[in-house]
Amino acid sequence: MKNQIIYFALAGILRIFLMNSDLHNIIRDRIEVSTALNSWKRITEGVYLYNIGVDPYIGDLFHETPLGLIIFDSIQKHFSFYGLWLLFVIIDLITAYLLGITAKYYIKELIAYDEKNTPYVDKVNIHQDFASITATHGASTFYVSAAYLYNPYVIFNCVGLTTTVFTNFLLSLTLLSMVKHSKIICCLCIAFLTLQGFYPICLIIPGAICIIQNVKTNEKPESLLKIFILFSTILISLFFTSYFVMGNWSFLQNTIGFTLLVPDLRPNVGLYWYFFTEMFEHFRSLFIASFQINVSILFVVPLALRLHKNPMLLAFSYLAIDTIFKSYPCIGDVGFYLSLLPLWRHLFRHMQQGFFVGCFILFCTIFAPTVWHQWIYSRSANANFYFGVSLAFAIAQIFLLTDILFANVKREFAVQHGIMNQANGNKAKLLLE
């Protein structure tokens, strides 16, 4: 416990140090960190317009929800400049703590599930191969928390004062409510996230599966229906509350509409900006629909059918897909789901592309600012170079997700059929073809 307090304190000090350094302004203005959806500059301008009686949703400046507008207005009124920095750091530390608690409960459930669903003769092998990396609850808690606290992507988003810090907090609270089977908190958090960015609506599926795990089989359909009704009620209530705050529905165009229609094509770490810049305008509606179906609908049902027994891995998959294919991603989104990787330590031995993916992500992280400088400042490159790095970054994330999902299939096979470490006296490795 004492060591964890030290690690949390060091992470907080590191963030505060960077905020007080010359790097703060550089990080804040990086396109990989700040986007049209999470920029604190836009928040400040939107709050100012609201306070002088101008609708902040007129034009293309402010894209937070009306509820977010009220919250951020209160923050700016009650927190000084340095108090604002401290608030962002504290929220980030709380997020890491919540993720650590989530890891603790999830690992307990994973071990209980293995013991319940593994043949008796294989339990010894299961414990020999997996107990050392899944049964250490404290270690798992520390690894997940540390992966968030010291992830450069997460640190940059906190130092850059982006609203992704608050989004990550809500996501961590969602995951914790899932493993704690808290129906109201889970539905409330997902509803808030959906109101802001739409894509997290898919998290209600793993959330509902988690909540009804302890319900009797004959009562599960009824419980599932109640959860979806509760979620729909909360979401509709939030929409109408937002309407009463603004007095009109103009916020829809600049929140969910902005996310789905992608009118802002400034570069970011995503794939939309370059594609829709180069595309003929009369094809825009077709490809907008194709892109959005890909990220929000296409993978939802197949993954839910395949991973319904492991809703946390299902939630992780949805988060990764949303981050890769969403319209305005930032590295803070990537950093959040990468921080969950220690949850799948028991799958690492079955993964085959870890080194490849790690090198690609490291290469893209270093090369993206270099190419951006060559394009914008030196003018010795063009948009194709930066998009090439963004595309490689997305491909690396796709390979990471598919590798984890295939590793999960291999582990399920090993658990059900016994783990064979040797074949003909030599070390063996399980491959899927």
- pLDDT higher than 80, residue 426: no
Domain assignment of residue 209, yes or no: yes
pLDDT of 418 above 80: no
Digit-coded pLDDT (tens) for 6-21: 889 999 999 999 999 9
Q: Which range marks the domain in which residue 134 is found?
A: 2-427
pLDDT score, position 4: 79
| Highest mean pLDDT out of 50-54, 105-109, 136-140 | 50-54
In a domain, 33, yes or no: yes
Q: How confident is the model at residue 417 (pLDDT cuts 50, 70, 90)?
A: low
Contact 393, 269 (CB under 8 A): yes
- Which pLDDT belongs to residue 345? 85
Q: Please indicate, yes or no, if residue 432 is contained in any of the structural domains.
A: no
Domain count, the chain: 1
Average pLDDT value for residue range 356-360: 92
The predicted model gives 90-116 an average pLDDT of: 87
pLDDT tens track for 182-227: 999 999 999 999 998 899 999 999 999 998 887 776 777 888 899 9
Q: Could you tell me what percent of the chain has a pLDDT over 90?
A: 61
Q: What is the pLDDT of residue 375?
A: 93
- Confidence at 120, pLDDT banded by 50, 70, 90: very low
For residue 233, the model assigns a pLDDT of 96
Q: Which comes out higher in pLDDT, residue 201 or 278? A: 201
Quote the CA–CA distance of 158 and 279 in Å, as a whole number.
34
Tell whether 196 is covered by a domain.
Answer: yes
> Residue range 283-300: average pLDDT?
89
Q: What percent of the chain has pLDDT over 70?
A: 89
* Mean pLDDT confidence for 268-293: 89
- Amino acid 278: pLDDT: 84
Q: Is the pLDDT of residue 238 over 70?
A: yes
What pLDDT is stored for residue 431 in this prediction? 58
Q: How long, in residues, is the chain?
A: 433
Q: What is the mean pLDDT of the chain?
A: 87
Q: Tens digit of pLDDT for each residue in 60-92?
A: 889 999 999 999 999 999 888 888 999 999 999
Q: Is residue 15 part of a domain?
A: yes
The 3-state secondary structure of the chain reads CHHHHHHHHHHHHHHHHHHCCCHHHHHHCCCCCCCCCCCHHHHHHHHHHHHCCCCCCCCCCCCCCHHHHHHHHHHHHHCCHHHHHHHHHHHHHHHHHHHHHHHHHHHHHHHHHHHHHCCHHHHHHHHHHHHHHHCCHHHHHHHHHHHHHCCHHHHHHHHCCCCHHHHHHHHHHHHHHHHCCCHHHHHHHHHHHHHHHCHHHHHHHHHHHHHCCCCCHHHHHHHHHHHHHHHHHHHHHHHHHHHHHHCCCCHHHHCHHHHHHCCCCCCCCCCHHHHHHHCCHHHHHHHHHHHHHHHHCCCHHHHHHHCCCCHHHHHHHHHHHHHHHCCCCCHHHHHHHHCCHHHHHHHHHHCCCHHHHHHHHHHHHHHHHHHHHHHHHHCCCCHHHHHHHHHHHHHHHHHHHHHHHHHHHHHHHHHHHCCCCEECCEECCCCCC
Task: Of 190-199, 212-221, 366-375, 392-401, give the lowest mean pLDDT range.
Answer: 212-221
Six-digit token string for 80: 């000084």
134 assigned to some structural domain:
yes
Top-confidence residue, 298 or 414: 298
Q: What is the pLDDT of residue 203?
A: 95
For residue 131, pLDDT beyond 50? no
